[in-house]
Structure 1
Amino acid sequence: MKIIKDTHLIQSFLTSSHTRQVFPESYRPKLRLVTYEAGEAICQQDEQLTALSLVVKGKVKIVRKLFNGKEYILDISSSPNLIGNIELMTNQKIVSSVIPLEKVWVVQLPLYNRQELLSDISFLYKVGKGLATSLYQQNIQAASNIGYSVKERLATHILDIENQGHFQLELHLLADSFGTSYRHLLRTIKFFLENKIILKQGKGYFICDRAVLEKLRIHP
């Protein structure tokens, strides 16, 4: 973790719409801007929560270690994403580890006075709204994993992440988030390649037939 000292950068992130939607104006003097590199945990499962963290730039994976030692990827999330709201509200240890997949920028509120936060109606409303949104998204994802094919989920993912037709796939992470096997995901990608829906380009891919992907796209 690196604490950012650049005043201009701090102000640009602390005054962003994402930050204002989570943290009331009165908390701004207590906020700090930090960065984490890929693989450096923002928080670790079963440790005590020391700060609320709002990922304002970058992508993270949310990982839960099971009793048998295996790790299960609950989600792959792009910013903005508030970390620690569940633990704050339930007063328990950190439920899941949050690991950056790339360099991420995080606005943090150190938890020096939890009771102050829990007594702040405006703040609790913002946290509650965020939790409700997360629950809604998880319900949609769970329903998608059950009710839609891997082809449909992959097509939707590609269209969500592509940039001018170009995209990359993190296969192990994607298989976990789809709730499917790595082998099944590879078969689906092979189908897309053989039918010239996508094209392999170096370490990434390129969309050749957007119309087919759009027909497969899942619409909530």
Structure 2
Amino acid sequence: MKRMQDLAALQRLLEQYELGGIFDQRAVQAMELVSYGKGDIICADGGRMNQLLLLVKGKLKVYKTLPNGKSILIRFYKPLAIVGDLELLTDFTVKGTVEAVGECLFIAIKYEELQATAYHDPAFLRFIIKHLSQKLYTFSNASSLNLLYPLETRFASYLVSINVDENDHPHIEEIRTSKLTEIAELLGASYRHLNRVVSQFVSAGLVERTRGSLYVKDIEQLKKLANGNLYN
């Protein structure tokens, strides 16, 4: 994690995401910009949060580690997303692991600053409630996707989710085949089953498998296969 002192950049981001009416001046003065690199863990399942993080650039992957040690994918976040809102309003520990998919930039503000200012502001509370409602909706959607849809749909959704940027523009990402075991676990499948689906996708011209890596070749067909059921 890197902390950045750039008041001009902070002000531009507050204007871009229309946050001026959500936070009062005292809260704004307590804000700072923080960045994370690809693969960095923003917060881990079971940990504690002490600040609210507003994702303003980049993409995040959220997954849950189960009691048996396995993990399952919940969703991807893109701007404007909030990390730490549930923990702000409760005394809960973190209920999922949040990982940076690529370079990510956040507006950060300590809980103690919010509790003294925006925590009692109806505009801020409406803002938080709206984002919590969106999380509940997408969690329900992801649960349905994981439970009710075939692996072909889930894998297509995963590939689309990681191969578009926060503005939904194509951004082809290399997938190391050594990561397929991890991906299979996130999608609630066996490695053997996922490997068969990869072979099907290669034969159909949807992905290319070469030198230990996978590359998406036809993201539009993958979107059709996902049929609107995305992890976001």
TM-score range with shorter-chain normalisation? 0.7 to 0.9
Distance 2:218 2:6 in 1: 43
- Runs (5+) with no aligned partner, structure 2: none
Using the TM superposition, give the Cα deviation of residue 92 of structure 1 relative to its aligned residue in structure 2, in angstroms: 2.4
User: Relative to structure 1, is the Cα distance of residues 30 and 73 closer, same or farther in structure 2, using a 3 angstrom cutoff?
Assistant: farther
Distance 1:42 1:9 in 2: 21
Report the counterpart of residue 12 of structure 2 in structure 1: 12
Paired letter, 1:143: S
Between stretches 3-12 and 144-153, larger displacement belongs to 3-12
Query: What RMSD in Å do the two structures reach over aligned CA positions?
Result: 3.1
- SS of 2:62's equivalent in the other structure is strand
Report the counterpart of residue 150 of structure 1 in structure 2: 151
Between stretches 164-173 and 131-140, larger displacement belongs to 164-173
Distance 2:63 2:158 in 1: 19
User: Relative to structure 1, is the Cα distance of residues 172 and 58 closer, same or farther in structure 2, using a 3 angstrom cutoff?
Assistant: farther
TM-score in terms of structure 1 length: 0.80
Distance 1:208 1:64 in 2: 29
User: Relative to structure 1, is the Cα distance of residues 36 and 53 closer, same or farther in structure 2, using a 3 angstrom cutoff?
Assistant: same
Distance 1:210 1:4 in 2: 38
Whether the 8 Å contact between 2:39 and 2:99 is mirrored in structure 1 is yes
Alignment coverage as a number of residue pairs:
217
Report the counterpart of residue 200 of structure 2 in structure 1: 191
Whether the 8 Å contact between 1:76 and 1:177 is mirrored in structure 2 is no
Question: What's the CA shift string for 1:144-186, capped at 9, x where partnerless?
Answer: 2222211122233434525658444463554344222232222
Between stretches 110-119 and 81-90, larger displacement belongs to 110-119
Q: How does 1:127-146 map to 2 (within 5 A)?
A: 127-146=128-147
- SS of 2:43's equivalent in the other structure is coil
Using the TM superposition, give the Cα deviation of residue 116 of structure 1 relative to its aligned residue in structure 2, in angstroms: 4.0
User: Relative to structure 1, is the Cα distance of residues 125 and 157 closer, same or farther in structure 2, using a 3 angstrom cutoff?
Assistant: same
Distance 2:184 2:220 in 1: 22
- SS of 2:199's equivalent in the other structure is helix
Paired letter, 1:103: E
Report the counterpart of residue 75 of structure 1 in structure 2: 74
Distance 2:140 2:36 in 1: 29
Using the TM superposition, give the Cα deviation of residue 35 of structure 1 relative to its aligned residue in structure 2, in angstroms: 1.0
Whether the 8 Å contact between 2:51 and 2:84 is mirrored in structure 1 is yes
Q: How does 1:33-48 map to 2 (within 5 A)?
A: 33-48=33-48
Does residue 123 (structure 1) correspond to residue 133 (structure 2)? The answer is: no
Whether the 8 Å contact between 2:61 and 2:100 is mirrored in structure 1 is yes
Does residue 207 (structure 1) correspond to residue 217 (structure 2)? The answer is: yes
Using the TM superposition, give the Cα deviation of residue 32 of structure 1 relative to its aligned residue in structure 2, in angstroms: 0.9
Whether the 8 Å contact between 2:53 and 2:108 is mirrored in structure 1 is yes
Between stretches 165-174 and 26-35, larger displacement belongs to 165-174
Distance 2:210 2:45 in 1: 37
Whether the 8 Å contact between 1:165 and 1:206 is mirrored in structure 2 is no
Using the TM superposition, give the Cα deviation of residue 14 of structure 1 relative to its aligned residue in structure 2, in angstroms: 3.1
Whether the 8 Å contact between 2:54 and 2:83 is mirrored in structure 1 is yes
Question: Runs of 4 or more off by more than 6 Å in structure 1?
Answer: none
- Runs (5+) with no aligned partner, structure 1: none
TM-score in terms of structure 2 length: 0.76
- SS of 1:118's equivalent in the other structure is helix
Paired letter, 2:50: T
Q: Tell me the percent identity.
A: 24
Whether the 8 Å contact between 2:62 and 2:98 is mirrored in structure 1 is yes
